[in-house]
Amino acid sequence: MAAPRHGAFHPLTVAEVDRLTDDSVALTLRVPEELREDYRHAPGQHLTLRRTAPEGGVEVRRTYSICSPAPTADGPGPAHLRVGVRLVEGGEFSTFAHKEIAAGDVLDVMVPAGRFVLDPAAAPASGHYAAIVGGSGITPVLSIAASLLAARPDARFCLVRSDRTAASTMFLEEVADLKDRYPSRFQLVTVLSREEQESGLPSGRLDEERLTSLLPALLPVAEVTGWFLCGPYGLVQGAERTLHALGVSRTRVHEEIFHVEDTSPAPVRSAASAAAAAGRVTARLDGRSGTWPVQEGESLLDAVLRNRADAPYACKGGVCGTCRAFVVSGEVRMDRNFALEAEETDAGFVLACQSHPVTEEVEIDFDR
């Protein structure tokens, strides 16, 4: 069977729209039998949804994490995929999702992508994992925790989540189900910033000071196999600094930052990128290569997109990682990177949407 094409879109039918809170919904998408292998995903991956506004408007792409558990390696691909969408004020796609999308609609959906993942098959049988999430950062972690606990009967998972109030907390029921199903292996701590809670935990933000006292009291920090941090930039950075101060190795920490705004992050126009020289890029995509000019200040992705409309991207802001490519030869410089881990950049991967040529000739490969 041919491998699914990186960045390919297919039309999927919406099977259900569930209201989770006043400002969030879950969309369940039906995957036809012939596409199930294409939509096979790892726990923690995301989908990019595409909408072309009516009357020739611009195309909008938004990335939403899959919250449903991942299929097992020896079973069939998923028949359904569920994603969580939080409404953002003025957000074009999230407003469309909340006000217009209904069961029976057909959406353009990219095959799963993302490297904020935990492969249960590769996890130690009695691995102890932990996650620190804020707001809609629960979405990929729900899939990670459910998939791990189902696949590994001795594994444990500790979830520390924060939100504003209980009413604004996404996937309350699904998380409560995990607690019921795995009472001795799933540990849950909820911190609400604007509401007192029954557990006795005082309200307030989940900042470094709070995490520094909370984490060692909850679990043996040094023995945790892997940490998953997901949420707004400030929370993820604070959690990362806390773990570092508690002696956790960087290699055990995985991060995914959610942008609170629903619009694409503004492109960085640093002095470096503005001065980025023109050059030529050779790009391999879906088995075919081409060589094209890169204009001054332009990203490698935009240069490729002018010639290959199927080049993979979603946010164009250095956040989602969809445009990841391997640098085969030449040198590039990235404006910013919130998506690739240090091991990936060390291995030669870059975000094409943030990369500019440093050498006159650059060769990149989207297929690796």
Q: What is the residue-wise DSSP string for 78-130? A: PSEEEEEEE--TT-HHHHHHHHT--TT-EEEEEPPB-S----GGGS-TT-EEE
Taking CA atoms, 324 is separated from 75, 262, 317, in Å, by 28, 21, 12
3-state DSSP percent of the chain in helix, strand and coil, to 5: 25, 30, 45
What stretches of 135-207 show up as alpha helix (H) in DSSP?
138-151, 172-181
> Nearest distance from residue 330's CB to ligand FES, in Å?
19
Smaller CB separation from ligand FES, 110 or 239 = 110
Characterise 258 by phi-psi region: left (phi > 0), alpha (psi -120 to 50), beta (else). beta
Smaller CB separation from ligand FES, 316 or 356 = 316
Adjacency order of strands within the sheet including 9-21: 59-65, 46-52, 106-110, 9-21, 24-30, 80-86
Smaller CB separation from ligand FES, 31 or 300 = 300
> Nearest distance from residue 230's CB to ligand FES, in Å?
16
Smaller CB separation from ligand FES, 149 or 323 = 323
Q: What's the count of helices (H) and strands (E) in the chain, helices before strands?
A: 8, 18
> Nearest distance from residue 320's CB to ligand FES, in Å?
4
Smaller CB separation from ligand FES, 170 or 314 = 314
Environment class of 186 (CB within 10 Å of its CB; exposed 0-12, middle 13-18, buried 19+)? buried
> Nearest distance from residue 12's CB to ligand FES, in Å?
21
Strands 332-334 and 355-357: antiparallel
Smaller CB separation from ligand FES, 138 or 323 = 323
Residues facing 158 on adjacent strands = 130, 187
Nearest alpha-carbon partner for 53 in 42, 65, 61, 45:
61
> Nearest distance from residue 94's CB to ligand FES, in Å?
17
Element (H, E) at 301: helix 300-305
- Contact between 356 and 299 under an 8 Å Cβ cutoff? The reply is yes
- Contact between 354 and 337 under an 8 Å Cβ cutoff? The reply is yes
Question: Which residues make up the interface to ligand FES (CB under 6 A)?
Answer: 313-316, 318-323, 339, 351, 353
Smaller CB separation from ligand FES, 144 or 319 = 319
C-alpha dihedral (315, 318, 321, 324), degrees to nearest 10:
110
Smaller CB separation from ligand FES, 146 or 301 = 301
Taking CA atoms, 314 is separated from 1, 99, 227, in Å, by 27, 22, 26
Smaller CB separation from ligand FES, 158 or 305 = 305
Smaller CB separation from ligand FES, 258 or 313 = 313
Give the span between the Cα atoms of 101 and 27, in whole angstroms: 9
Give the span between the Cα atoms of 17 and 46, in whole angstroms: 18
